Amino acid sequence: MSLNIKQKLRELRKKHKLTQEQLADLSGVDYKHIQLLESKNPPSVRIDTIEKLAKAFDLKCSKLMDFGLLVLLSLPCLALVC
C-alpha cells in the first residue's frame, strides 16, 4: 500500500503543480511527513492522513489509494469514512 500512496501522491502533486510545502499547507499534513510519504521507503499511512490528502485534491480516499471496489467492500471503515 505504501508504494501506491508514494506514486499517487507525487503524481497528483505534480499534476496540480504543487510543491510539498504547498500540499502541506492545503492538507494540514506536516511537510516532513509528505516528504517521508514520497520517499524511497515510505511509512505506513494513517487513515486521517489519507483523508486530509484526499480532501486537498478533492478526491475520495479510494481514488487516492487506488483501491478497487472489492477492497472497499472488505474494509467497511474506509468505505464509510471516505
Residue with more model confidence, 79 or 28: 28
- Does residue 81 have a pLDDT over 90? no
**For 14-58, how does the pLDDT look when each residue is reduced to its tens digit (9 = 90+)?**
999 999 999 999 999 999 999 999 998 888 888 899 899 999 999
Specify burial of residue 71 (Cβ count, 10 A radius: 0-12, 13-18, 19+). Answer: middle
CATH superfamily of 2-81: lambda repressor-like DNA-binding domains (1.10.260.40)
